[in-house]
Structure 1
Amino acid sequence: MRAILLVNPKATTTSERARDVLVRALRSEVDLSVRYTRRRGHATALAREAAVEGVDLVVTLGGDGTVNEVVNGLMTATSAVGEAPTAERLPALATVPGGSTNVFARALGLPKEWPEAASMLLEGLRLGRHRTIGLGRADDRYFTFCAGFGLDAAVIHRVEEARRRGRVSSPGLYFRAFTAQFMFGAERRHPAIQLEQPGEAAEGDLASAIVQNTAPWTYVGDREANPNPEASFDLGLDVMAFRQLGVASTTRTVTQFLSSTPNPHGRQVLRLHDVAEFTLVASRPQAFQLDGDYLGEREKVRFTSVPAALRVIC
């Protein structure tokens, strides 16, 4: 089996020695080459090349951003005869968690720490264990576990700016960013989003929207955050939108999706389950994120579910 390991050298929870251990372990199972990402978007190009070359397996060592780039590289590759990608034609994906949160890997049931996760993946390779998962697509970009339009994306933007100034990613940093955006952002005072589905009446005056391809949406330390607890890699997309961002109602909703038995509900909550296609349209630009990476502002994003898109080792 030909495999390529794509390493984000800035991965926050692994060292050079740990990477060497992983490389030796993988080489005991597969014919492995190693590539290091050098810039944003580099993993996409490397994964696309691997798919075109007919590599059997792509392994990532990094966080959710690295996984997202690799998935986009695989899903936009074509074969030598110009065929569109299918799960059977594409390389399988294995992800070793190396970031600060690793939502995708943990949603697949992998351990949070990379040595245990790597051991589980090696066992999966020996046994031929894999599953085929669906993905989400926002316009022309794929995502594995979540997207955000409005408040949560603006919070991620604040966190990314703080990290560029040298701050360490932590639940406390996210809480401070959320508090600042909630209090001073425009989302709370002027809801501007409309959700449109084919053949359905539009839902308007929404303040913010969270889209999930699986559950959980994210983790707060070891605690799952589940705005859409029924979301699944095996179904369409789930949506939870805030109609208003009042202090009392928002606090209640956040408490609900942080509960051990999450079921967000209330007059200010809109939830949709297993949706194949919808569009979010805003009357002014909204912050936008995919898989925890801030991608700027948009006024319109079309979301589609892509079933049975990719094989993953787990």
Structure 2
Amino acid sequence: MIWFVLNPKSGTTTPAKRNKIIQAINKQANCRLILTEYAGHATEIAQQAVQQGISRVVAVGGDGTVNEVARGLVGSDTALGIIPIGSGNGLARHLNIPLKIDKAIQFAIQQPTAQIDACYLNEIPFFCTAGVGFDAFVANEFAQQESRGLKTYAKMSLKSFRTYKPEAYVISHQGKDYAKMAFSITFANATQYGNNALISPKSKIDDGLIDLVVLKPFPFGAAPIIGVRLFRGTLPNSRYIDMEVSEDYVLKSEKPLLIHFDGEPLQLDTNEIRVYIKPKSLKVVAGVVE
């Protein structure tokens, strides 16, 4: 038995297209479709699936829905599948999951599984990226918009760039402290945010390590070049980038931190976070894992 979990409020699809997705899933043998009803419901469904010995739970939605389902499966023998209908589809893209719905459904049912790492930020699970600074600020602004998609995200990024100011952080790992002024700081388990924006192109999702990407303050004129590098996968070559690799980090700021995890914003009531990894603790339905 395979369960499909669909968030009816998730993704960028129209109601008509969503109905087609529902019909396509309902046609599959030995599959059950469950619609979520509230925030966190997808995690509860995933946990129930584990208890009942369900072999696969397929998240139908965006990165937020994928995160909710995945957090309920970590440490179990139940595999995560993905039907990507979100704005960025970061984990699906990294795992080489088809973006076309019909192909993604068959992929979720038939494709073999692999083990990947799960990461945590103050006990909050993430599977692609998490971080602070500009990216978290934009994620918070984006979450408040009525329309979704790359166009809206790009619009909010440009608007935010005009007003956002770099901040001071202290990052600790491997017994050393590093004081840094940063425009953004990303903890990467996978290569990208989504939409093939490759913030950490060399990240491997099953190596037991978290890649730290610090984007230092840069002049306004460098922004277009940084943007091009982001999508071409050459960002590490920029002089405005510092990168480290470790199993865990502690980050401190002068004020409570606004974070993002897999694109979801969250305002914390603490100025300190710990980021760590649980190697190969999540089973996924995937193409070639990198």
TM-score, normalising length: structure 1? 0.82
After TM superposition, give the deviation of residue 37 of structure 1 in Å: 0.5
Note the alpha carbon deviations across 1:135-173, whole angstroms, 9 max, x for none. 21111111111112110011011111122xxxx223332
Partner of 1:239 in structure 2? Answer: 212
Partner of 1:116 in structure 2? Answer: 103
1:91 aligns with one of 74, 78, 102: 78
Q: Distance in 1 between matches of 2:250 and 2:86?
A: 30
Letter in structure 1 aligned against 2:35: Y
1:143 aligns with one of 101, 123, 126: 126
1:16 aligns with one of 3, 14, 19: 19
Letter in structure 1 aligned against 2:215: F
1:282 aligns with one of 253, 259, 273: 253
After TM superposition, give the deviation of residue 54 of structure 1 in Å: 2.4
Question: SS where residue 81 of structure 2 aligns?
Answer: strand
Question: SS where residue 116 of structure 1 aligns?
Answer: helix
Letter in structure 2 aligned against 1:173: T
CA contact (8 A) 2:73 2:80 kept: no
After TM superposition, give the deviation of residue 247 of structure 1 in Å: 1.5
Q: Distance in 2 between matches of 1:246 and 1:288?
A: 24
Note the alpha carbon deviations across 1:87-129, whole angstroms, 9 max, x for none. xx431111111223221112111111211211222332xxxx1
CA contact (8 A) 1:193 1:207 kept: no
* Cα distance, 1:194–1:253 mapped onto 2, change above 3 Å: farther
CA contact (8 A) 1:249 1:268 kept: no
Question: SS where residue 142 of structure 2 aligns?
Answer: helix
Q: Once structures 1 and 2 are overlaid, which stretch shifts more, 61-70 or 297-306? A: 297-306
* Cα distance, 1:40–1:181 mapped onto 2, change above 3 Å: same
Question: SS where residue 44 of structure 1 aligns?
Answer: helix
* Cα distance, 1:266–1:105 mapped onto 2, change above 3 Å: closer
Question: Is the aligned partner of 1:103 residue 2:90?
Answer: yes
Question: SS where residue 174 of structure 1 aligns?
Answer: helix
Q: Distance in 1 between matches of 2:2 and 2:106?
A: 17
Note the alpha carbon deviations across 1:54-112, whole angstroms, 9 max, x for none. 2222122111111101111223xxxxxxxxx3xxx431111111223221112111111
Question: SS where residue 93 of structure 2 aligns?
Answer: helix
Partner of 1:79 in structure 2? Answer: none
Q: Once structures 1 and 2 are overlaid, which stretch shifts more, 152-161 or 283-292? A: 283-292
* Cα distance, 1:123–1:73 mapped onto 2, change above 3 Å: closer
CA contact (8 A) 1:282 1:299 kept: yes
* Cα distance, 1:258–1:34 mapped onto 2, change above 3 Å: closer
Task: Work out which of the two has the higher radius of gyration on C-alpha atoms and give 1 or 2.
Answer: 1
CA contact (8 A) 2:170 2:177 kept: no
Question: Is the aligned partner of 1:209 residue 2:180?
Answer: no
* Cα distance, 1:181–1:286 mapped onto 2, change above 3 Å: farther
Partner of 2:234 in structure 1? Answer: 262
Letter in structure 2 aligned against 1:138: L
Partner of 1:200 in structure 2? Answer: 176
Task: Mark the runs of 5 or more structure 2 residues left unpaired by the alignment.
Answer: none
Partner of 2:262 in structure 1? Answer: 291
Q: Distance in 2 between matches of 1:303 and 1:147?
A: 9
Task: Mark the runs of 5 or more structure 1 residues left unpaired by the alignment.
Answer: 76-84
After TM superposition, give the deviation of residue 245 of structure 1 in Å: 4.0
CA contact (8 A) 1:151 1:287 kept: no
Greater RCO (Cα-Cα under 8 Å, separation 6 or more): 2
* Cα distance, 1:250–1:287 mapped onto 2, change above 3 Å: farther
After TM superposition, give the deviation of residue 207 of structure 1 in Å: 3.3
Q: Distance in 1 between matches of 2:152 and 2:57?
A: 32
Q: Distance in 1 between matches of 2:150 and 2:33?
A: 33
Q: Distance in 1 between matches of 2:6 and 2:238?
A: 44
Note the alpha carbon deviations across 1:277-300, whole angstroms, 9 max, x for none. 011211123321111111124522
Cα RMSD of the aligned pairs, angstroms, is 1.9
Question: SS where residue 50 of structure 2 aligns?
Answer: helix
CA contact (8 A) 2:58 2:108 kept: no
CA contact (8 A) 2:56 2:79 kept: yes
- Aligned residues with identical type, % of pairs: 24
* Cα distance, 1:20–1:237 mapped onto 2, change above 3 Å: same
CA contact (8 A) 1:65 1:292 kept: yes
Q: Distance in 2 between matches of 1:74 and 1:110?
A: 19
TM-score, normalising length: structure 2? 0.89
Q: Distance in 2 between matches of 1:287 and 1:249?
A: 25
Letter in structure 2 aligned against 1:115: D
